[in-house]
Structure 1
Amino acid sequence: MNEIMRAAERLLHTRLSDPVDLGGSSRTTVLRCRTADGRSVVVKAYTGGPDALRGFTAEAAGLSLGLAGPEVLGVDRDVPLLVLADLGDAPTLADLLLADDPKAAEEGLLAWAVGLGRLAARSVDRRAELTRLWARYDTGMPTWAEDPWITRAAARLPGVLETAGVAVPDGLGEELARIGTAGREEYPAFTPGDTCPDNNLLTPEGLRLLDFEAADFQSVFLTAAYCRMPFSSCWCVFALPDGLARRIEAAYRAEVVPVYPALAEDAVWEDGMRRAVAVWTVNATVGLLPRAAEDGPMHRTRRPVPTRRQVLRHRWETAARLDGLPAFTETMRRLLREVADGWQVDPLPGYPCFGRGGADRDG
């Protein structure tokens, strides 16, 4: 901690004091500190592993675009380390969803969807700038755009199915190749990468985004799928009221249609959304199913939280209803019948803020 603070002091040319550990992760140390003139800043230092180094470059470049997130006050590529403006202690969207005020949670969800949509719309002509910023803060790691994570997850799926005792339907490989086109190049826009509820502060000035460690340009469908599933890659996954889920998706879509007019066509939108939901379902399956032999909570400390088995079954139930992907939906039905039916876990409940029956309400 002392080394991190000294490096940050060199960047800011001021003394820092009163460090408070904000949690960080296995890749980062995050401290809130006080400057000599009384300001509060956040210092984020990264370990030397490949994922942490790529996260540093992505965050430094993504935040330096100035489209969203806290202001960058200093960057040290050698440590590596960022000093950021402190956004304070506003509640996150996760805090609202896990609390008991349905109106505040609904307003937070709509602010989140509109904010992400506006960010996407403002970013469409900034991709070359992000490339230049990545080069400025490069630590030798490939960009997220160069990471074929969709293809890699699809390649792993047959082996994961075989281990679980589920036969691979004919035609699944061809459908997975088609599903993968809902990736980075289909209506691309900037995203912080991890737009989960705990990375979104709802401040008096509006939505502020945190965690740009996976910042990149990707298809707007991959972001919009967070509205429909909901929260495709997150731990804070409960069932949303159907009407509310539709409204937050529509709010996001309304913001991106002006820059991508083709997305006003329902056929175009639905085709992209089907494939994006499938992409995230494959990602969840290969990531969680090997760890579901023994069920456990989706988050180490936060409560309430669903279990891995509850989330997987919910993902498979959602994906089993997709149109136009017969081999994929048959895979989902087999997983439900041959794996999930033996788990004997409760169905995924609604978000606490909407009550246990929240999934059945028309929000």
Structure 2
Amino acid sequence: MNVTLWAAGDLLGTELSDPVDLGGSEGNTVLRCRTAAGGSVIVKAFTNEPEGLRSFTSEAAGLSLQLAGPALLGVDASVPLLVMEDLGGAPTLADVLLGDDPKAAQEGLLAWGRGLGRLAAVSVRRRADLAQLRTQYDKGMVSWEDEPWIERNATDLLALLAGAGIAVPRGLAGELARIGTVGSEEYPAFTPGDTCPYNALLTPDGLQLVDFESARFQSVFLTAAYCRMPFANCWGVFSLPAGVAKEIEQAFRAGVVAAYPALGEDAVWEAGMRRAIAVWTVDATVCLLPHTVEDGPLHPTLRSVPTRRQVLRYRWESASALEDFPALAETMRLLLREVAGGWDVAPLPRYPAFADRGCGLWADG
């Protein structure tokens, strides 16, 4: 920590002190530090392991694009670390969703949807800029934008089904190939990557996004699916009332239509959304199913979140209605019957802020 403080202080030309660990991940350390002038900054130092290096490149490039996130105050690629402005202790979207105020939760969700939609729209001409910035901070790792994770998940799903003794429905491999990258070629847009509720700060000045470790361009549908599913690959997954989920999605869509007018056509939008839901459901299955032999919370330390089995069953139920992809839908029904059929778990609960509300805005209809 002392080495990190010294390197960050040298980068800023000031002494840093009183570090407070904000809780990073396996690949990084995040500290709030005092400056000699009495202010504060956020220092994020990365490991020299492959994922730490990839995260550093993505975050440094993504923040340098200056479309969203805290202001980047300095980058030292040799450590590697970066220093950002301190956005303060504003509540996150996760805080209000896990709270007891449905109005605050609804407003937070709408701010999140509108903010991501606007970000997608203003970014569409900046893809080359991000690529150049990534080259500037390159540490030799393949970016998430270039990582064939969707194709790899498709291959892994087929192997996983075979290993579980589930007969693969005819045509599944072809459907997975047809889903492709969900329109990344036609409708790409910038995303910080991890747009989960705990990375969305609800500040007095509006929504602020943090954590750009997976910053990249991807299909707008992959981001939009977070509204409908909700929060495709986050640990804080509960269910939302249908009316609320629809309103968030509309807020996001209104933003991206400014850049891609074709997305105003319902047929185009719905087809893309169904493909995105298929991709994220396959991703959840590949990531979570091997770890459901013994069920447990989706987060390794938090016990107040749903379990892996609850989330998987919820995802499979939703994807079992994907009529565009009958073989995939049949696969989901097989998993529900032959795997989840033996799980004695409660249905996925709603976010606490919307719990026990069955009328008006929060109705399922």
Q: TM-score, normalised by structure 1?
A: 0.98
Aligned partner of 2:279 in structure 1 is 279
Distance in 1, Cα, partners of 2:339 & 2:244: 30
1:238-317 to 2 correspondence within 5 Å? 238-317=238-317
* Structure 1 residue 358: Cα displacement: 6.2
CA contact (8 A) 2:183 2:219 kept: yes
**Contact 2:183–2:272 (CA<8 Å) still a contact in 1?**
no
Deviation of the 1:303 alpha carbon: 4.7
Corresponding position of 2:51: 51
SS in structure 1 opposite 2:145?
Answer: helix
Mapped contact 2:96–2:353 kept (Cα < 8 A)? yes
Residue matched to 1:119: 119
Superposed structure 1 runs of 4+ greater than 3 Å apart: 356-360
For 2:339, the equivalent position in structure 1 comes to 339
Per the alignment, residue 144 of structure 1 pairs with 144
Question: Given that residues 240 and 358 in structure 1 are in contact (C-alpha distance below 8 angstroms), is that contact kept between their aligned partners in structure 2?
Answer: no
Give the equivalent residue in structure 1 for 2:219.
Answer: 219
Match in the other structure for 2:159: 159
Q: How many residues align?
A: 363
Residue 204 of structure 2 corresponds to 204
- The corresponding residue for 1:361 is 363
Counterpart of 1:23 in 2: which secondary structure?
coil
Is 1:34 the equivalent of 2:34?
Answer: yes
Residue-by-residue CA offset, 1:236-276 (whole Å, 9 max, x unaligned):
11110001111100110011111101101111001100000
Query: Which amino acid is the alignment partner of residue 150 of structure 2?
Result: I
Structure 2 residue 60 is matched with structure 1 residue 60: yes
Which position in structure 1 is the counterpart of 2:189?
Answer: 189
CA distance in 1, matches of 2:327, 2:255: 33
Q: 1:357 to 1:156 in 2, by over 3 A?
A: farther
C-alpha contact 1:153 1:282 (8 A) present in aligned 2: yes
Amino acid at match of 2:239: A
Shift of 1:304: 2.2
Aligned-residue offset at 1:357: 5.4
SS at match of 1:37: coil
Match of 1:84 in 2: 84
Instruction: State the secondary structure of the residue aligned to 1:18.
Output: strand
Which residue in 2 is equivalent to 1:100?
100
The whole-number CA distance in structure 2 between the counterparts of 1:49 and 1:64 is 22
TM-score by length of 2: 0.97
CA offset digits 1:195-222 (Å, max 9, x no partner): 0000000000000001000000000000
Query: 1:142 offset after TM fit, Å?
Result: 1.6
- CA-CA distance at 1:155 after TM superposition: 0.6
SS at match of 2:180: helix
Does the 8 Å CA contact 1:349/1:357 hold for their aligned counterparts? no
CA offsets per residue over residues 9-60 of structure 1, 9 Å max, x none?
Answer: 1101110011000000111000000000011100000011111101100000
AA in 1 matched with 2:199: N
Q: Is the partner of 1:258 in helix, strand or coil? A: coil
Shift of 1:145: 1.8
Structure 2 partner of 1:228: 228
Ranges in structure 2 where 5+ consecutive residues have no aligned partner: none
Structure 1 residues not aligned, in runs of 5+: none
Is the Cα contact below 8 Å between 1:55 and 1:214 reproduced in 2? Answer: yes
Shift of 1:316: 0.3
The answer as to whether partners of 2:181 and 2:219 remain within 8 angstroms in 1 is no
Following TM superposition, by how much is the alpha carbon of 1:302 offset from its aligned partner in structure 2, in angstroms? 3.1
Of 311-320 and 180-189, the range deviating more from structure 2: 180-189
1:238–1:306 Cα contact (<8 Å) kept: yes
1:323 to partner: Cα distance: 2.0
User: Structure 1's 358 and 232: CA in aligned 2 closer, same or farther, altered over 3 A?
Assistant: farther
Structure 1: which amino acid aligns with 2:14? T
Q: Is the aligned partner of 1:329 residue 2:329?
A: yes
2: CA distance between counterparts of 1:297 and 1:358?
26
Task: Assess if the C-alpha contact under 8 Å between 2:31 and 2:42 holds in 1.
Answer: yes
State the SS of the aligned residue for 2:218: strand
Amino acid at match of 1:113: G
1:314-352 Cα deviation digits (max 9, x unpaired) = 000010111211000000000001000101100001110
Identity %: 68
User: Is the contact between residue 179 and residue 279 of structure 2 (CA under 8 Å) also seen in structure 1?
Assistant: yes
Taking only aligned residues, the RMSD between alpha carbons, in angstroms, comes to 1.3
How big is each residue's C-alpha offset from its partner over 1:94-138, in whole Å with a ceiling of 9 and x where there is no partner?
111001000000000000000000000010001111011111111
Distance 1:99 1:230, change over 3 A: same
